[in-house]
Amino acid sequence: MQRLAFKMKLNKGQKDIYTKRHNELWPELKKLLKEAGVSEYSIFFDEETNTLFAFQKVSGNGGSQDLSENEIVKKWWNFMVDIMEVNPDNSPVSIPLEEVFYLK
């Protein structure tokens, strides 16, 4: 089991809509993530910087960041493009974070 973390940037004033959209996560996207080996996925928000911090537990070698060719994922990105920083393909700008400490 690997632990992955990354950060993304939310546009100012979009926390409530971001939270609402994730509280109503599409069943087909949730199923896809589980099938890809994502067993836990948390996203935290830093109000001072509008930074999102994401953490995943993943079995296998990949995580949600490796599903970029999936049509459900592309549809989700298009749904989220208006509220966060994105790349030219509408994927969220996502910066991997290095784990420097883990207490088990």
Burial class (CB in 10 A: 0-12, 13-18, 19+), 102: exposed
Asked if CATH classification 3.40.190.10 holds for the domain at 2-96, the reply, yes or no, is: no
50 is catalytic: no
Catalytic residue (choose from 3, 19, 22, 79) = 22
Average pLDDT over residues 7-20: 98
Backbone angles phi, psi at 74, to 5 degrees: -60, -40
Q: pLDDT grade, residue 89 (50/70/90)?
A: very high
Amino acid at 27: P
Q: How far apart are CA 52 and CA 10, in angstroms?
A: 7
Q: Which of 71, 41, 77 is nearest to 56 (CA)?
A: 41
Domain boundaries, the chain: 2-96
Structure pTM? 0.89
How does 30-55 read in b/e, with b if 16+ C-beta sit within 10 Å? Answer: eebbeebbbeebebeeeeeebebebe
Q: pLDDT grade, residue 14 (50/70/90)?
A: very high
pLDDT value, residue 67: 81
Q: How far apart are CA 77 and CA 95, in angstroms?
A: 16
